[in-house]
Structure 1
Amino acid sequence: MSKPSPARYRTTNWSSYTASLCKRGSLLIRLDKNMTWFAQHDGGPGRPAVFSDAAIQFCLTIKVLFKLPLRQTTEMVASLLKMAGLAGR
């Protein structure tokens, strides 16, 4: 048995096709400027937490989405914070 020939599609609107290819590579990550990045001191014994649970969850989400090791994830999040103007707060 022979395979059926693949369907051929002809592009008629090249400007729309090119724009859709460009959009496919774009990435938008929105950061909430009101998000608490540093943890509040709870007053309990032991070493206090440095980062909030929301910040840790954001970093782990980036790690899983892009399949990055931890060091690359921290650098990526640091660059995202720098671009958003949230670094150093």
Structure 2
Amino acid sequence: MELELEGADLKSVLNRLRRAQGQISGVIRMIEEGRDCEDVVTQLAAASRALDRAGFAIIATGLQKCVADIESGRANGEDGEQMRARLERLFLSLA
């Protein structure tokens, strides 16, 4: 399955990834500066949430494509059970 993000979806995912990138840079800087553990963990949790949200947005887009493929009979040679198993693995990879 190819990643096909467009318009607002693409902008949203990229913004979340850039936010996470900035937060991770902040975490590195905070560790190097010897900042308080609670502050570091709070910033790290924020970066993790941003990455999770980007991942979920990408999976949601993939689900839309899969549903469209099933409805049009173009499921890339996969039967419904194979597609379900593949999507389940994607969801679990973010859990």
Whether these two folds match at TM > 0.5 is no
The structure carrying a bigger helix percent of its residues is 2
**TM-score for both structures, normalised by structure 2:** 0.28
Q: Which structure has the larger Rg over C-alpha atoms?
A: 1
Structure with bigger RCO (C-alpha 8 Å, 6+ apart)? 2
